[in-house]
Each structure stands twice: as C-alpha cells, then as structure tokens.
Amino acid sequence: MNVEELREYCLTKKGVAEEFPFDANTLVFKVMGKMFALVALERLPPQCNLKCDPERAVELREEYDGAIIPGYHMSKKHWNTLFLENLPAKLILELVDHSYELVVGGLTKKLQQELHNSAGK
C-alpha cells in the first residue's frame, strides 16, 4: 500500500480531518481533533503510526517482526509504526480502523454525539 492509498482511506472515515501540526512532512489524521494516524511523507520506505491496543500492539510486533515496530516518537505502549510496503493492504486497513475506533471510543460523550450527528462521511 502506498501513502496516497492510505490517505484516501483515512479520509473516508467520518469526522476526519488531515493537517500538518508538526512540520511539512508529517501528515496527521484526526477525528474530532484527536490523532489516530500519522504519516511520515519523506521517510523511505513509507511508514505510518497508528494507535493500537497495548496487548495487540505487542502481538503484532512479534508476528510482523521488523514490519511493525513500537511507535516512532510516540508512546511505545499505545502506538505502532507500520512499514507500509512490507504488510498486506488488508491488515493496514484493519489497523487504521482499529486506531480510529480506539480514538473515537476515548472521546467524551459530547464529542461522540457530535460525531454521530455530523453530516457527510
């Protein structure tokens, strides 16, 4: 999977915005103002950081040794870095969904309701 395919998929999610809050090379996807995916545009091979349940994060790192590592510049417990070229597209999309759902689940009830009521995606 390439970065543009990942970007397009992230933008299909309800309430998602993309921005560059850190620098011109780190694309961040947020749902209701909370990060769920970061993509390093200049890094080769292409990679992204996704939030993950801590237990599942460890399992994924073991199963996909070298292709999924603890989150670069992130909480190593709650974030993984994925090397996009070394993983099946289906797995990447599943992990984007997982990250999105974790972040939505952690939103306040008010923000969850706003997201639920929002029009569009």
In a 3-state reduction of DSSP, which class is residue 28?
Answer: strand
In a 3-state reduction of DSSP, which class is residue 37?
Answer: strand
* DSSP letter assigned to residue 119: -
**Percentage of the chain with pLDDT > 70?**
98
In the chain, the amino acid numbered 60 is L
> Residue 74: how many CA atoms within 13 Å on its side-chain side?
24
Please, which residues have CB within 8 angstroms of residue 104's CB and are 6 or more apart in sequence? 31, 32, 112, 115
Residue with tokens 């970061």: 38
pTM: 0.93
Report pLDDT digits (tens) over 15-31.
999 999 999 999 999 99
Edge-to-edge, what's the strand order for the sheet holding 34-40? Answer: 16-19, 26-31, 34-40, 47-51, 79-83, 68-70
Report pLDDT digits (tens) over 47-79.
999 999 999 999 999 999 999 999 888 888 899
Q: In CATH terms, is domain 3-109 a member of 2.60.40.10?
A: no
Q: Where are the domains of the chain?
A: 3-109
Instruction: State residue 101 phi and psi, 5-degree precision.
Output: -65, -40
121 pLDDT above the threshold of 90: no
89 pLDDT above the threshold of 70: yes
